[in-house]
Amino acid sequence: ALQAANAAVDAMNWPELTRAVAECRACPLCQQRKQAVLGVGDLNPDWLFIGEGPGADEDVQGEPFVGQAGKLLDNMLAALNIARGNKVYIGNAVKCRPPGNRTPEAAEMAACRPYLERQIALLKPKIIVLLGKAAVHSLLHDDKALGTMRGKRFEYAGIPVVVTYHPAYLLRNLPEKAKAWEDLLFARRLLRDQAVP
Ligand code: URA
C-alpha cells in the first residue's frame, strides 16, 4: 500500500522508527533517494520545525536544511537563542528527496505521514512551526494560502501549531522575512505561555 503501515509505525520506539525510515519503500520516492532523511536535533525539544522534504544537499548529507535555506533557518534560530540540537528538532513532511526538488505529491506526503506523526508523538514538542505549504498540507490537511494562515494558533494532538513561510521562499522574497520573524515571536509567546509560573 502507498502508506507506511500505520499500526506498526504507531508502536515504534525511536531506534525502530529510525530504521524503518531508512529502509522505507512505501512510496516511489525511495527509488531515487541516496538516503532517507529522518530529521536532526534535540530528542526532547521545545520546538519542532517541519519543512517540505530533503533537497539535493540533504539527500547527500542525510540532514535536513543543510543548504542555503538551512543557513537562513539557522540564522532565524540563532536570533531566538536556540539552535538545532538545543531545544530544537528539525524534520520534513517527506523523508526522501522528490526528484529535481519538486513539491511532494499529496500521495507521497500521505505515505510518509505516519512517520511524521510518530516523530511528533515521541518528541512531544511544546510548539510546532510549519515551514511552508507542504508541511501545512501534511499536518493540518489544509490547502489555504499560507498568508491567510499566519498569526493563528492551530493545534495538532494538543500541541500548538504556527504556520510561516518556507525559508527557500524567503530567500526569493527577502522583504517577507519580517513576517516570518513575527511568526516566530508569536510561536515563542505560545511556548512561553505554557511555562509553569
Ligand atoms: N527544504 C526543505 O523543506 N527541507 C529541507 O530539509 C531542505 C530544504
* pLDDT at residue 81 is higher than 70: yes
Mean pLDDT in residue range 151-161:
97
Mean pLDDT in residue range 97-120:
96
Cα-to-centroid distance, 197 and ligand 1 (Å): 36
Ligand 1 contacts (CB < 6 A) are 51-55, 58, 64-65, 69, 92, 168
Task: Determine the residue of 38, 65, 74, 170 to mutate for testing ligand 1's pocket, defined as the one with the most ligand atoms within 8 A of the Cβ atom.
Answer: 65
Q: What is the pLDDT of residues 30-42, one digit of tens each?
A: 999 999 999 999 9
Mean pLDDT in residue range 54-67:
97
Task: Give the C-alpha separation, 141 to 100, whole Å.
Answer: 24
Average pLDDT of the chain, as a whole number: 96
Q: Which residues pair with 90 in a beta bridge?
A: 40, 49
Cα-to-centroid distance, 196 and ligand 1 (Å): 33
CA-168 nearest atom, ligand 1: 1
CA-134 nearest atom, ligand 1: 3
Cα-to-centroid distance, 103 and ligand 1 (Å): 11
**Residue 185: predicted pLDDT:** 98
CA dist list (Å): 110 to 26, 65, 117: 10, 21, 11
Task: Determine the residue of 49, 52, 60, 103 to mutate for testing ligand 1's pocket, defined as the one with the most ligand atoms within 8 A of the Cβ atom.
Answer: 52
User: What is the residue extent of each domain of the chain?
Assistant: 6-192
CA-93 nearest atom, ligand 1: 3
Estimate to the nearest angstrom the gap between the alpha carbon of 138 and the chain centroid.
10
pLDDT > 90 in the chain, percent: 95
Question: Which cell goes with 65?
Answer: 536544511
Q: What is the pLDDT of residues 179-197, one digit of tens each?
A: 999 999 999 999 999 977 6
**Residue 52: predicted pLDDT:** 98
Q: 168, 174, 98, 166: which is closest to 136 by C-alpha? A: 166
CA dist list (Å): 79 to 1, 51, 58, 89, 131: 43, 19, 23, 16, 17
Quickly state the pLDDT bin for 147 (edges 50, 70, 90). Answer: very high
**Residue 44: predicted pLDDT:** 97
Q: What is the pLDDT of residues 128-145, one digit of tens each?
A: 999 999 999 999 999 999
Instruction: Decide if 138 contacts 91 (C-beta within 8 A).
Output: no
Fold classified for 6-192: Uracil-DNA Glycosylase, subunit E (3.40.470)
* pLDDT at residue 153 is higher than 60: yes
Mean pLDDT in residue range 145-171:
97
pLDDT > 70 in the chain, percent: 97
**Residue 3: predicted pLDDT:** 66
* pLDDT at residue 8 is higher than 60: yes
